[in-house]
Structure 1
Amino acid sequence: MRSYIIRRILMLIPVLIGISLCIFLIMQLIPGDVISGLLGIEENPELRAQYVIKFGLDQPLPKRYIDWITNVLKGDFGTSFRTDKEIFPEMMSRFKITFQLTIMAAMISWIIAIPLGIISALKRNTWVDAVVRFIALLGVSVPNFAFATLLILFLSLKFQYYPPVGYVGFFENAKVNLQIMILPAIVLGTIMSGSVMRMTRSSVLEVLRQDFIKTIRAKGASERVVIFVHALRNGLIPIITLIGMQIGGLLGGTVITEQIFSIPGLGQMVLTAINQRDYPVVQGCILFIAFIYVMVNLIVDILYTYVDPRITYK
């Protein structure tokens, strides 16, 4: 296992270098100019030339890329063109917010999806199964921005409840923090639950059809043991894969949901940087997101060995 993990981590290097090169080149093709946005009506050739030199935009593209990726490998993501502040501390503070939102959304998704998926599998082709499948279809089909907007409208018009504006850290005021984060977490968790629900249903159904389940039942095992100890555990591999992909995507920043609820997470930081043509921020954030996504996939692969002892890595 240790050698497998080391190999996977070493494989990250060429992957991240390739991603960094793509990010760097794409950013150069984005229309617009950060200097024009910064200077506005005060722009003139002399002042513009000063900013070009300050940001290093007068250097050839290969040199700019090599300088940037070399600094990243040293842990230096550079400074923002807009704020002139270091990118990495700001990125980490934003990531903490996105991480909390992701964990809350994942927990809500699991609480909804896994029990309903199991019930749907056990009540196959009944009205219960039809209702659960309809709920899952809604979760897959409804965009998160539409559900978020409808939820805010429903709560405000029906109960005169309005989501809090601004952000307060969990350790500053846990109650206010949860009030701020619960609605976006419900939106993301509900949308996530549709796919997990369908995957849980199909995985449990597939396992229940296998011969060893009949043998376990014939030996007198209770239905609870059959479902939770044998059927669910043997069907967890595809469920874990799907959940890992969802969590990796959420950790990369839930841009639309964060914008709707004014959550200052990583997704909002990336979107703002793109709109402002803040190249170092966009490059650093997307490279960090790619690293997180790959690491989540590695954790998912390791979890396979704990769920199914037959899976081993050398």
Structure 2
Amino acid sequence: MTGFVLRRLLFAIPTLLVMLTAIFVLVRMVPGDAAQVVLGDQASAASLAALRAKLGLDQPVYVQYVSFLLNVARGDLGQSLSSGRSVIEEVRQVLPSTIELTAAAIVIGLLFGLPLGVAAALSRNGWLDYVSRVVSLIGLSFPAFVSGILMLIVFAIQLGWFPVLGGSGGRQSFAEHLRGLALPALNLGLIMTAYVMRVTRAAMLGVLTEDYIRTARAKGVGPVRLVARHALRNSLIPIITVVGLYFGTLIGNSVLTEIIFNRPGLGKLILGALNSRDYTLLQGLMIIFAISVIAVNTLTDLAYGLVDPRVKYS
């Protein structure tokens, strides 16, 4: 098991290097002078030169690249141009809120998607199967910002079941905090439910036709044990895959959801950085997103080994 874990961790290093190189190149391919964009057209030549020196833009590209990688390796993502604080400190203040929202959406997606997908597979071509497929198709058809606005209008403004603003105040009770989290989490969780449900249904339909399932039925294994221990367990690989792959999309949707529901998080931080043209903060946020996606994909690979021991020897 140790060798399997080390191999997967080593595979993540070149992926991270490629992602960091892509971020470095793309940021510097943006048309125009970064210092001019930050300071505006009325900035003096001395101010522009000082900012270029501060950002290291007056150095050769290869020197900038090496310095960029070394700073990332040290955990130094630079300082925000608008607040003067480090990017890590800026992210640390809002990251728990984004993690909370993302984790809640994943829990909702698994809590509803798994049983609905299993039920749809067991009643193949029945009314429950057709209803679940239609519901999942509707869930996949709505972008997160559209469903978020609709849910906000219906459940918060018209019905008043949830607060209009999903932000979390420092003196909120736990119940009020959950009410503020519920609607944004449902907005993301229902979309993930549609993904998980469709993948679970397809995986279960493939497993239920296997010979070992027929053998287990012939031996008198009960339906609950048959589904939980034999069918669902052997369907987990594609389910884990879709959860890992959807994480990147979920992060992007969480940014939009935080803006719609006015929640503190990376979404509002990105919007503020764009409005203030904070070049350093935007680059740091891109790096954090890339590292998060790579980390989740690595954890997904490790989860394969736990679910199916054969993966560790492949």
Correspondence list, 1:35-50, <5 A? 35-36=35-36, 38-40=38-40, 43-50=43-50
Correspondence list, 1:206-221, <5 A? 206-221=206-221
Could you tell me whether the CA contact under 8 Å between 1:121 and 1:202 is conserved in 2? yes
Distance 1:157 1:248, change over 3 A: closer
Whole-Å separation in 2 of the counterparts to 1:255 and 1:223:
42
What are the Cα deviations for residues 126-159 of structure 1, in whole angstroms up to 9, with x where unaligned?
Answer: 1221111100111111111111111111124531
- In structure 1, what is the equivalent of residue 169 of structure 2? 168
Residue range with higher mean Cα deviation, 286-295 or 106-115: 286-295
Residue range with higher mean Cα deviation, 301-310 or 16-25: 301-310
Correspondence list, 1:95-244, <5 A? 95-161=95-161, 162-164=163-165, 166-168=167-169, 173-244=173-244
Whole-Å separation in 2 of the counterparts to 1:231 and 1:126:
19
Could you tell me whether the CA contact under 8 Å between 2:144 and 2:257 is conserved in 1? yes
Q: Return the letter of the residue paired with 1:164.
A: L
Could you tell me whether the CA contact under 8 Å between 1:167 and 1:180 is conserved in 2? yes
How far 1:10 sits from its partner (Å)?
2.6
How far 1:35 sits from its partner (Å)?
4.0
Whole-Å separation in 2 of the counterparts to 1:54 and 1:257:
34
Could you tell me whether the CA contact under 8 Å between 2:8 and 2:302 is conserved in 1? no
How far 1:275 sits from its partner (Å)?
4.8
- In structure 2, what is the equivalent of residue 82 of structure 1? 82
Distance 1:164 1:277, change over 3 A: closer
Q: Return the letter of the residue paired with 2:146.
A: A
Taking structure 1 as the reference length, what is the TM-score of the superposition? 0.90
Whole-Å separation in 2 of the counterparts to 1:304 and 1:17:
24
Could you tell me whether the CA contact under 8 Å between 1:110 and 1:193 is conserved in 2? yes
Taking structure 2 as the reference length, what is the TM-score of the superposition? 0.90
Report the count of equivalent residues. Answer: 313
Could you tell me whether the CA contact under 8 Å between 2:8 and 2:301 is conserved in 1? no
- In structure 2, what is the equivalent of residue 24 of structure 1? 24
Instruction: Provide structure 2 residue ranges, at least 5 long, that are not aligned to the other structure.
Output: none
Whole-Å separation in 2 of the counterparts to 1:197 and 1:149:
24
Could you tell me whether the CA contact under 8 Å between 1:204 and 1:232 is conserved in 2? yes
For the residue of structure 2 that corresponds to 1:166, the secondary structure is: coil
Distance 1:155 1:251, change over 3 A: closer
Distance 1:165 1:295, change over 3 A: closer
Alignment RMSD (CA, Å): 2.4
- In structure 2, what is the equivalent of residue 53 of structure 1? 53
Could you tell me whether the CA contact under 8 Å between 1:148 and 1:187 is conserved in 2? yes
Distance 1:81 1:313, change over 3 A: farther
- In structure 1, what is the equivalent of residue 15 of structure 2? 15
How far 1:13 sits from its partner (Å)?
2.7
Structure 1 stretches of 4+ moved >6 Å: none
What are the Cα deviations for residues 91-128 of structure 1, in whole angstroms up to 9, with x where unaligned?
Answer: 23332221111110011111221111111111111122
Q: Percent identity?
A: 38
Whole-Å separation in 1 of the counterparts to 2:101 and 2:73:
28
Correspondence list, 1:246-265, <5 A? 246-251=246-251, 254-265=254-265
For the residue of structure 2 that corresponds to 1:311, the secondary structure is: helix
Distance 1:15 1:177, change over 3 A: same
Instruction: Provide structure 1 residue ranges, at least 5 long, that are not aligned to the other structure.
Output: none
